[in-house]
Structure 1
Amino acid sequence: MNITYDRLFIGGEWAAPSSTATITVTSASTEEVIGAVPQAQPADVDAAVAAARRAFDDPQGWSRWEPERRAAAMESLAAQLELRNGEMARRVSSQNGLPISIAGQLEGGFPLTVLRYYADLIKNASTEESRPHLFGGTTTVLREPMGVAAAIAPFNFPQTLASLKHGPALAAGCTMVLKPSPETVLDAFLFAEAVAASDIPPGVVNLVTGGGDIGACLVSHPGIDRVGFTGSTPAGRHIAEACGRLLRPVSLELGGKSAAIVLDDADLDLANIGEELYGAILLNAGQTCYLGTRVLAPRSRYAEVIDILAAFVSSLPVGDALDPKTLVGPMVSEAHRARVERLHRREPTPGRIRRTSNCQSPVLSYPG
């Protein structure tokens, strides 16, 4: 695989970037270079936001379309993505290590469900509602698009989590600027190709690339009306602070990392719980926000739980993310792997819950 783009998707066109800077994409499995895309600069953010603003303000544009017409365009985008299902899964797996057997269902399939859900929702939802007023009479509630939305997606499930932003935004009549994680950009460009081939009008969806500096530029841009972010808690704090100063609506999805608690009478037969255990602690090599990264076990079953988890983890096929048999692929980058290895070298402390990274496999502890 060697996929190279030399332009950004802005205003419905493949536009030349403002600089020659690029993002080099490597395979999570082989660490070989598999592609390159332009690295956006603040001038490119300006151009993307301006394009989204023009599309939103157009008197005959997206924000003024009847819900049924927007729904039809969203369904055409879903159809274009469906044509690219296999390639989308391949690109995501190659970049972030998500096993291809899972990527096909989530990264290739889930965004289609989201788009079609919101398309169906707006066809049957009322945009105007009258309610009785507290002091008599009635109040008319109007559902109107907010404006230009900034959508920032992470690397672990890039298309799934991006769809949870662009699906409702498009349905509401908003235009948008999408910024993917620099670790997973090739799939975002494939998404842009689907947008270009669909009935979504020019400028409604725009794509810029880059790291935290470009994300910060987008979040604080005066042409943005709303922000949606999924990612780390530290980055989320900065975004919340910026939006707070600007009184700009923002949605933050920062993940959890809760503990799994084993009760005294738990059924730990792997034949019965193996699939659920995988989905709860090891999906995408631990690169999933809701996974249990530590297990709290009662003293009476502590050794048993260790043995069961060791046997379970040892049974899972580890390998190249593009191998259909693989259930545990690589981490997204060498830097992420090194961080997890540093954490794993620390011995767990009995009687204490140890904090873990966002990409760490479970550690065992027990209440004192």
Structure 2
Amino acid sequence: MTEVIDYHSLFIGGDWVKPESDKTITVVSASTEEVIGTVPEASEKDVDRAVDAARAAFDDPKGWSTWPVSQRAEAMRRLASALESRSAEIVHRVSSQNGMPLIIGQQLEAVFPAVLLRYYADLIENASFEESRPGLFGGNTLVRREPIGVVGAIVPWNFPQALAAFKLAPALAAGCTVVIKPSPETVLDSFILAEAIAESGIPHGVVNIVPGGREIGAFLVAHSKVDKIAFTGSTAAGRSIAEVCGRLLRPVTLELGGKSAAIILDDADLAGSLENLFGACLLNNGQACYLGTRVLAPRSRYDEIVDVFTGFVGALKVGDPLDPTTQVGPLVSARQRERVEGYIAKGKNDGGRVTTGGGRPKDRDKGWFVEPTVFADVDNSTTIAQEEIFGPVLSVIPYGDLDDAIRIANDVDYGLGGSVWTADADRGLDVARRVHTGTFGINAYLPDPTAPFGGIKASGLGRELGPEGLAAYQLTKSVYLDK
């Protein structure tokens, strides 16, 4: 990115409009620490305008929510194509902003949004939104699934386009209208999304984008004309949002933090699983909520497994996220690096042994880099084993028998992801059934568009993806018929 990208308008009501204030968000490269762009920072008045536009678009008797399913689906496919035509620039902006390695962005940020839009377009064309049920007291009941209304979608910085699509695609499919609030760390890519929406022919006001920080997010959550909130982010922020939505009796989907376990069984072939282990434990510089950052290893193979992870992690290429050979880039911000370094220091103080990493790369004098780090001799009760670090830090924790491994895996406040690594698929499935979590992988981990994704305990409420993700944007209405 050789030039600073400046935007001066907001995408509200299907038009590029002048913001209500002169405040801006300055975007800084995670790898160079240089300014790479500025965008307007939405004010509360801008959010009012966006919600009003979404409300009007939803309430329009001939608007998006009333369009035939085939017509909505076709518009969603046009949006998918518009995003695909811009995928290279989207990935370039995302990687420049948050440090995501280009190779990861090309697999996820460039692909997932279009895949989800087409998946939900196909799903609604083949689904029935009305069902007739015979009643026990005579007559019948017509059960209808209707769009929930105006959705406030709050998107994090780690996978800004993919996680926006987690919300946008099913909401559009259901017939809802949306106000998206991107994270201030990753706003430049959201303007490309706006351009694609404008090109797609989706009606004015159906999708609106208001960049801003926590205060604007809180204002959107509590807005009187919003019908549902969909949020991905930290557990602390999710609890606050849940409190507001609970008081307002407002539906909410929360995809929050994680501290998942990657359980290595005694028969696992680690040498043949390194690529999948990277995706399950260290993807996106460790900045993914579902990652298995607690590696549970049987005592009988503990030293061997520590050595495998030490060699594997220590050999990862750290560097410029725009270099296609980079495997680990910088963290998203100086504040995030300080947070991760604080956990590394805590891990050392609590008796953990660093086998690789633990500091900053010596060949990088710019950027918010942290060396990929492995801790050995970690007890599951320690801070680095219990709290979400959100960086490239793994803890290898020993266990005795399989029951002990399950106990350790479940002994955290979170329950979002997890995995098991074994040569025996039946043993793996038995482990999957016993770990208390919303999602789980056997010898790999990657969320699929067709499968519900979400957590339990401190990892959230509700599900995204799959038919369940569509249902989260629908209301159920019963119509009682006498005959």
Check whether TM > 0.5. yes
Amino acid at match of 1:363: S
SS in 1 for 2:146: coil
State how many pairs are aligned: 366
- Structure 1 residue 66, shift from structure 2 partner: 0.7
- Structure 1 residue 301, shift from structure 2 partner: 2.3
- Contact 1:352-1:367 within 8 A present in 2 as well: no
Do residues 332 (structure 1) and 332 (structure 2) align? Answer: yes
Gaps of 5+ in 2: 353-376, 401-483
TM-score in terms of structure 2 length: 0.74
Distance 2:387 2:329 in 1: 20
Counterpart in the other structure of 1:103: 105
SS in 2 for 1:143: strand
Amino acid at match of 1:219: V
- Structure 1 residue 277, shift from structure 2 partner: 1.2
Distance 2:137 2:291 in 1: 49
Counterpart in the other structure of 2:444: none
Counterpart in the other structure of 2:148: 146
Pairwise mapping of residues 1-368 of structure 1 onto structure 2 (< 5 A)? 1=1, 2-269=4-271, 272-345=272-345, 346-347=347-348, 348=352, 350-353=378-381, 354-360=385-391, 361-367=393-399
Question: Judging changes above 3 Å, is the alpha-carbon distance between structure 1 residues 38 and 311 closer, same or farther for their aligned structure 2 residues?
Answer: same
- Structure 1 residue 239, shift from structure 2 partner: 0.6
- Contact 2:257-2:388 within 8 A present in 1 as well: no
Distance 1:207 1:189 in 2: 8
Task: Answer with 134-143 or 307-316: which moved more.
Answer: 134-143
Distance 1:135 1:315 in 2: 69
Gaps of 5+ in 1: none
Distance 2:197 2:8 in 1: 18
Q: Deviation string for 1:112-169 (max 9, x for gaps)?
A: 0100111111122222210122433211011211110111111111111110101010
Distance 1:321 1:286 in 2: 14
Q: Deviation string for 1:216-253 (max 9, x for gaps)?
A: 10010000001111110001001111000000011111
- Contact 1:293-1:356 within 8 A present in 2 as well: no
- Structure 1 residue 266, shift from structure 2 partner: 2.7
Amino acid at match of 1:27: S
- Structure 1 residue 358, shift from structure 2 partner: 3.9
- Structure 1 residue 367, shift from structure 2 partner: 4.1
Distance 1:159 1:301 in 2: 40
- Contact 1:74-1:199 within 8 A present in 2 as well: no
- Contact 1:289-1:358 within 8 A present in 2 as well: no
Amino acid at match of 1:149: V
Q: Deviation string for 1:54-77 (max 9, x for gaps)?
A: 111111111111111111111111
- Contact 2:258-2:388 within 8 A present in 1 as well: no
Amino acid at match of 1:325: T
Task: Answer with 347-356 or 198-207: which moved more.
Answer: 347-356
- Contact 1:9-1:206 within 8 A present in 2 as well: yes
- Structure 1 residue 350, shift from structure 2 partner: 4.3
Question: Judging changes above 3 Å, is the alpha-carbon distance between structure 1 residues 300 and 40 closer, same or farther for their aligned structure 2 residues?
Answer: same
SS in 2 for 1:297: strand
List, as ranges, runs of 4+ consecutive aligned residues in structure 1 with deviation greater than 6 Å. Answer: none
Q: Deviation string for 1:304-339 (max 9, x for gaps)?
A: 222111100122111100000011111111111111
TM-score in terms of structure 1 length: 0.96
